[in-house]
Amino acid sequence: MSAIRLSPAAAILRHGVLVLTSAFILVPFVWMVSLSLKSPGEIFRATFSVLPAQFYGVDNYAKAITSVPLPRYMGNGLLVCALILAAQILVCAPAAYALAKLKFWGRDFIFAMVLVGLLLPHQVLSLPLFILCYKLDILNTYLALVIPYVVSPFGIFLFRQFFKKIPNDIVHAARLDGLCELAIVWKIMVPMALPAVIAFSIFSVVAHWNDLFWPLIAVRDGNLMPAPLGIMAFKNEEAGNDYGPLMAASTLVVAPLLIAFLAAQKWFVEGMTGGSVK
């Protein structure tokens, strides 16, 4: 971003630090991919090499896909993530608009409650949520995986901060142009806050694709399990020491996120910088 050119020494130092930290983060992933390509014997060998001595990838990946219904798990994850994200945006945008642009009695109190909600870890609520789902009789359904996440304090907070930056005159102009309040939310505010919507979507999808804790509580039916839970079922089934197929399954689960993120990255950065008006 900055146009300042660094001296060679500083550039080397900076890149060295960057390479080191990214290596630190990437090593587990590289290891995972590497293990997913190795034979069971090679995995427990004392020496370590990134590339397998004997390519065992086909067997591992075949086993990962066939011995447990991994595609089904990933399909479940996709469905749940999509439902959660859609519901969250549907709820958060109007709520955030009300908190950012409308004046009503108790608004600041409600916003304070949103902030409290932001501070609470979701796990704290798991017991009440479990009881709620039981009373609603939705345990062991897709609904049980979606309902607890429909209201996202983080989403409300993020959207509210973004909406607050949109000038009031735009809202006024929209009202004069004949838009009702909901139309203002969907036609004006959300499109203008697209960077926030994208950022929130990434956070939301990553969090719920990877979520293990709540699905573990909410569903028992193998047909409903999302991917991380599916991997666990797979591991139990294999008595825990068949690491090759396990790592292959993990790689398959992480891959969609990685691909989606890389594909969206350019657009994401553009959305963050290019959308600015005035």
Residues 32, 149: Cα–Cα separation, whole Å: 30
Q: Which of 3, 4, 119, 176 binds other proteins (CB under 8 A)?
A: 176
Residues 241, 249: Cα–Cα separation, whole Å: 14
Q: 102 vs 113, which CB is nearer to other proteins?
A: 102
Q: Smallest distance, Å, CB 202 to other proteins? A: 20
Residue type, 172: H
> Helix, strand or coil for residue 178?
coil
DSSP-assigned states of every residue in 10-51: HHHHHHHHHHHHHHHHHHHHHHHHHHTTS-HHHHT-SS--SS
Please tell me whether residue 178 binds other proteins under the rule CB under 8 A.
Answer: yes
Q: Smallest distance, Å, CB 170 to other proteins? A: 5
Residue type, 30: V
Q: Which of 78, 194, 198, 199 binds other proteins (CB under 8 A)?
A: 194
Of 192, 209, 182, whose CA–CA distance to 83 is shortest?
Answer: 209
Q: 195 vs 226, which CB is nearer to other proteins?
A: 195
Q: 107 vs 172, which CB is nearer to other proteins?
A: 172
Please tell me whether residue 177 binds other proteins under the rule CB under 8 A.
Answer: yes
Q: Which of 32, 65, 79, 192 binds other proteins (CB under 8 A)?
A: 192
Of 186, 198, 217, 189, whose CA–CA distance to 85 is shortest?
Answer: 198
Please tell me whether residue 158 binds other proteins under the rule CB under 8 A.
Answer: no
Of 277, 102, 99, whose CA–CA distance to 194 is shortest?
Answer: 277
Residues 151, 35: Cα–Cα separation, whole Å: 39
Residues 28, 15: Cα–Cα separation, whole Å: 21
Q: What stretches of 147-242 show up as alpha helix (H) in DSSP? A: 153-165, 168-176, 181-183, 190-192, 194-209, 213-218, 227-237
Taking contact as CB under 8 A, which single stretch among the options 17-25, 91-99, 130-138, 174-182 is the one that binds other proteins?
174-182
Q: Which of 78, 179, 199, 216 binds other proteins (CB under 8 A)?
A: 179
Please tell me whether residue 278 binds other proteins under the rule CB under 8 A.
Answer: yes
Please tell me whether residue 169 binds other proteins under the rule CB under 8 A.
Answer: yes
Taking contact as CB under 8 A, which single stretch among the options 16-24, 63-71, 178-186, 215-223 is the one that binds other proteins?
178-186
Please tell me whether residue 167 binds other proteins under the rule CB under 8 A.
Answer: yes
Residues 5-34 interacting with other proteins (rule: CB under 8 A): none
Q: Smallest distance, Å, CB 190 to other proteins? A: 10
Rounded to a whole number, what is the distance in angstroms from the first to the last CA of the chain? 20
Q: Smallest distance, Å, CB 150 to other proteins? A: 25
Please tell me whether residue 277 binds other proteins under the rule CB under 8 A.
Answer: yes
| Residue numbers at the binding site for other proteins (CB under 8 A) | 167, 169-170, 172-179, 183, 188, 191-192, 194, 275-278
